[in-house]
Structure 1
Amino acid sequence: MSDIITTTISLEALAPHPARHASPPVAHNRKRKKRNKHVFIALVASMAAMCLIAIILFHGYVAWLLAYPYVAPLSSNPEEAIGVAYEDVVFASHSGETTVSGWYVPASANDANDAARTVVFSHGYGANREEAWVPMYELTKLLHSLQYNVLLFDYGYASKQYKAPATGGREESQQLLAAIDYAKSRGAEDIVVWGFSMGAGTALQTALQTDEIDAMILDSLFVPSSEALFDNLNQFVPLPKFPSLPLIETMIPLWTGTDFGSIPAEEVIANAYDMPMYIIHGTQDAKAPYGVAEAIANNQRHSLTRSWIVDNGQHELLFRMHPREYIQRTALFLSQVDGENGAKAEA
């Protein structure tokens, strides 16, 4: 009997006890679920962080592209392209922060009074002093035949030797001021700035800082602002306005040392300049709406100021569209400016 009892007790001892062995698997499952939840949260957080970093890096790269646009190297020179003599020139910007290089084409005139007239070209963003589609060489040849000196130069973002970031006109205006100073040092008494696209906008910014400009011709006028630059960028890379625009605005100063808030866009548009201007713009300009050009023209009070809004004209292709009329209109404007300057000199 004792053997039976002992065996029964031993078998009972070996049998699983529900209360004792059910708890550990439940606790283990809870720990595993909790661990999996933490892993999932960490994974989601990591992916979100990686996406955020990717977004920041992408917009940083876009801001860098805006500061350092690709510009093709110079392919020729005035002597090779149009058969006129020229000089390579280099000078410091008015601010002293950058260096400017360009070409000086002396007038073909023998009359010293004629040689005292100089046109300074102000090229557009993403282009250099050649700006073939304008076309700059043909206009240089025209001015040379009209007995004007011509100064063509590269803004910093277009220079290969003296590279500098695009600043929306802050430093570019200093480079244009230096170009005007150089023309004056070569004997120029009457200076006309002929600007294209952002180069025209830079001319207006520069005119806020000096009275050495006697007249301006502004073709496809583009006034840089955060909104305008974003609209142009959006034509090539579709981006949502938020968060793209704030991110780009934040990162631009990292590459350029300046921000959009320093660009006097509103003042440029509203100002009445004390000089004659010829504003030329196309109705189909996808980069710079012609309404801005019209607003600037309407704010002017000088008797010689005029505008030519070209029906169906596209950005910087107005000469190509109407070459004969373009030459006739600009030559007439220059002759009228010259006559006014001559009358002032005699008074």
Structure 2
Amino acid sequence: MKAQSHAVPSRKPSSSIVGLAAAAVGGVAALASIASVVAVGAVARMVVTPAKQRQRDTEVLSLNRRRKTITLRATPDTILPGRYGMWFGQPERYLKLGPVLWRDRTSVTRRLESDEIGLPLHGRATFSGWYYQHPRELGLESESVRIETPIGAAPAWLVPAENPRDTWVILVHGRGVGRGEPVRAVPVLRDAGFTTLNVSYRNDGDAPRSADGRYGLGATEWEDVDAAIDYALAAGARDVILMGWSMGGAISLQVALQGRNREAVRGIILESPVTDWNRVLVFQAEAESIPPIVRHGALAALGNPWGRRLTGLDAPLDLPSLDIVARSSELSVPILILHSDDDGFVPSSGSHALADARPDLVTLDIFQVARHTKLWNYDPDRWNRSIAGWLDKNFPRGA
């Protein structure tokens, strides 16, 4: 507060004024502390809480019904070459987006590959890298099955190979999405003779909800994927390869390290994977300009019993156990990693670090431009060749 003009400059502050000043400073500090705790709780909760609805991160500027085109606000994702998907309209529908036809600094026009009847001409939407939502869109035989997980039955899609091997591939989607994400991988795997099992896991919207309704960032979800291996082995598989996207990569790596069926895991394919949550969360916090004190507090809250009241977790997360770079000496099977250096969400530094730590096991295929979990969309031919080549090298037929 500015001093009043009638104050006598030479007079020393009275004890009461000193006390008031100290109380004011203390009050500001207390408010700052309360604000920090609130911010810490909000950030920590956000990390482990499944979203109730999709984030409408894309603006549809116009839709041309005659030309079958759609114009979007330009963002790092919407301008990407290739084929993508998008949720749009009321009721919300999933649309398939084709290649870029035209763009400038603020907008991009793409071919619309879905029926436009009933769609609004503009509005908010959610951009996606899935493209496919269900195996039936591939024209392949598929079956809906149930996996008995520790917390209940979870749905999965089973797609048999035409000339099947006795090794299956279990597909594990990432955080905040569903089983549509891995469908892109089915053709290249099926062509190589691998039956695929595309699974759900706790709190993903398809599988049962856990008691706390929170993500474990791989520390709990791996049990559901381990149960999927039980299903595969009982259905005739001799062993499995795990393939995970983003957090699905973290889940797959935990299965390989601590699952009951880890001896049945012969290989791992990872797309834009999380190999170290600390690295990822710090990267995202810095991108959002979250102050260091808040991000450090959020990490502490996730990993300590006192933080459960802030996060809603039944048990704290053992984040060091989720650092696969630090635990790389425990890995024992070949791993293929596909990652884009401009991922924008999960930094590729973790993938580089894991490849450097275990060059005997890890094959690293680095993309540019492709962003997070959109490598197939950006360059499907290269993506398929990379996977097919790695499979031929490590799992030749008849071996």
Q: TM over 0.5, yes or no?
A: yes
- Sort the Cα spacing of 1:275 and 1:41 in 2 relative to 1 into closer, same or farther, 3 A: closer
Structure 1: which 5+ residue stretches go unaligned?
1-32
Letter in 1 for 2:140: V
- Sort the Cα spacing of 1:290 and 1:250 in 2 relative to 1 into closer, same or farther, 3 A: closer
- Please report how far the alpha carbon of residue 239 of structure 1 lies from its aligned counterpart in structure 2 after TM superposition: 1.1
- Please report how far the alpha carbon of residue 193 of structure 1 lies from its aligned counterpart in structure 2 after TM superposition: 0.8
Equivalent in 236, 239, 253 of residue 190 of structure 1: 239
1:254-265 mapped onto 2 (5 Å cutoff):
254=308, 255-256=312-313, 257-265=315-323
Letter in 2 for 1:238: S
Q: Tell me, yes or no, if the aligned pair for 1:59 and 1:244 is still in contact at 8 Å.
A: yes
Instruction: Identify which range, 309-318 or 181-190, moves more after superposition.
Output: 309-318
- Sort the Cα spacing of 1:191 and 1:231 in 2 relative to 1 into closer, same or farther, 3 A: same
- Please report how far the alpha carbon of residue 183 of structure 1 lies from its aligned counterpart in structure 2 after TM superposition: 1.5
Partner of 1:9: none
- Sort the Cα spacing of 1:329 and 1:149 in 2 relative to 1 into closer, same or farther, 3 A: same
Partner of 1:124: 174
Instruction: Identify which range, 246-255 or 204-213, moves more after superposition.
Output: 246-255
Partner of 2:197: 151
* Deviation per residue, 1:99-136 (Å, 9 max, x gap): 46232323143x5xx153311112222322212xxxx2
C-alpha root-mean-square deviation of aligned residues, in Å?
Answer: 3.3
TM-score (norm 1): 0.73
1:1-347 mapped onto 2 (5 Å cutoff):
45-46=26-27, 48-70=29-51, 78=134, 80-93=136-149, 96=150, 98-99=151-152, 101-109=154-162, 114=164, 116-131=166-181, 136-159=182-205, 162-163=208-209, 164-209=213-258, 210-235=262-287, 237-241=288-292, 243-252=293-302, 253-254=307-308, 255-256=312-313, 257-265=315-323, 270-271=328-329, 273-300=331-358, 305-339=362-396, 342-343=398-399
Q: Tell me, yes or no, if the aligned pair for 2:365 and 2:386 is still in contact at 8 Å.
A: no
- Please report how far the alpha carbon of residue 187 of structure 1 lies from its aligned counterpart in structure 2 after TM superposition: 1.3
- Sort the Cα spacing of 1:129 and 1:186 in 2 relative to 1 into closer, same or farther, 3 A: same
- Please report how far the alpha carbon of residue 334 of structure 1 lies from its aligned counterpart in structure 2 after TM superposition: 2.2
- Please report how far the alpha carbon of residue 268 of structure 1 lies from its aligned counterpart in structure 2 after TM superposition: 5.2
SS at match of 1:238: coil
Counterpart-to-counterpart distance in 2, 1:101 and 1:271: 32
- Sort the Cα spacing of 1:128 and 1:44 in 2 relative to 1 into closer, same or farther, 3 A: same
Q: Tell me, yes or no, if the aligned pair for 1:121 and 1:194 is still in contact at 8 Å.
A: yes
- Sort the Cα spacing of 1:104 and 1:323 in 2 relative to 1 into closer, same or farther, 3 A: same
Percent of aligned pairs with the same residue?
21
SS at match of 2:265: coil
Q: Tell me, yes or no, if the aligned pair for 1:68 and 1:166 is still in contact at 8 Å.
A: yes
Structure with the larger strand share: 2
Counterpart-to-counterpart distance in 2, 1:53 and 1:99: 40
- Please report how far the alpha carbon of residue 330 of structure 1 lies from its aligned counterpart in structure 2 after TM superposition: 1.0
- Please report how far the alpha carbon of residue 170 of structure 1 lies from its aligned counterpart in structure 2 after TM superposition: 1.0
Q: Tell me, yes or no, if the aligned pair for 2:240 and 2:266 is still in contact at 8 Å.
A: yes
- Please report how far the alpha carbon of residue 191 of structure 1 lies from its aligned counterpart in structure 2 after TM superposition: 1.0
Counterpart-to-counterpart distance in 2, 1:219 and 1:230: 20
Instruction: Identify which range, 219-228 or 174-183, moves more after superposition.
Output: 219-228
- Please report how far the alpha carbon of residue 333 of structure 1 lies from its aligned counterpart in structure 2 after TM superposition: 2.1
Counterpart-to-counterpart distance in 2, 1:266 and 1:52: 34
* Deviation per residue, 1:297-324 (Å, 9 max, x gap): 2443657x52212244422222122211
Q: Which protein has the larger Cα radius of gyration, Structure 1 or Structure 2?
A: 1
Letter in 2 for 1:124: G
TM-score (norm 2): 0.64
Letter in 1 for 2:160: A
Letter in 1 for 2:333: M
Letter in 2 for 1:53: I
* Deviation per residue, 1:221-259 (Å, 9 max, x gap): 222333421321332x32111x21232123325123223
Q: Tell me, yes or no, if the aligned pair for 2:133 and 2:179 is still in contact at 8 Å.
A: no
Counterpart-to-counterpart distance in 2, 1:299 and 1:48: 45
- Please report how far the alpha carbon of residue 283 of structure 1 lies from its aligned counterpart in structure 2 after TM superposition: 2.3
Letter in 1 for 2:300: T
Counterpart-to-counterpart distance in 1, 2:342 and 2:203: 27
Letter in 2 for 1:289: P
